[in-house]
Amino acid sequence: MAPGIQWYTIAGARSAAFTFTPGAVWLVNRPAGTEAVVPKLGGRFDLGWVIDDGPRVGISAGAEWWGSTGTLPRWVLPLGLTLGFR
């Protein structure tokens, strides 16, 4: 979990947002004497559309990096589809 800054815009039935989230990752079950909390940077871009004043559909893509050492991956590239009702 990290606080973030978001830029958001709406044009008719479309919306776009970019979120930047600096923070930290807490790694549990680490051997004694190794890093437990490492820095994290993340960003996500979201696009959404309203269909006939009903459900909202969208896509998102992002990237996250954390400063871990060892065998853990340092990059994550999440992709997603969204469906919302109002």
What is the DSSP code string of 11-59? ETTEEEEEEEEEEEEE--SPPTTS--EEEEEEEEEEEEEESTTS-EEEE
Q: What is the pLDDT of residues 18-48, one digit of tens each?
A: 999 888 887 777 677 666 788 888 999 999 9
Q: Identify the CA nearest to 56 among candidates 17, 19, 13.
A: 13
Q: What is the pLDDT of residues 55-76, one digit of tens each?
A: 889 999 999 888 877 666 788 8
pLDDT of residue 70: 67
Note if the pTM is more than 0.85.
no
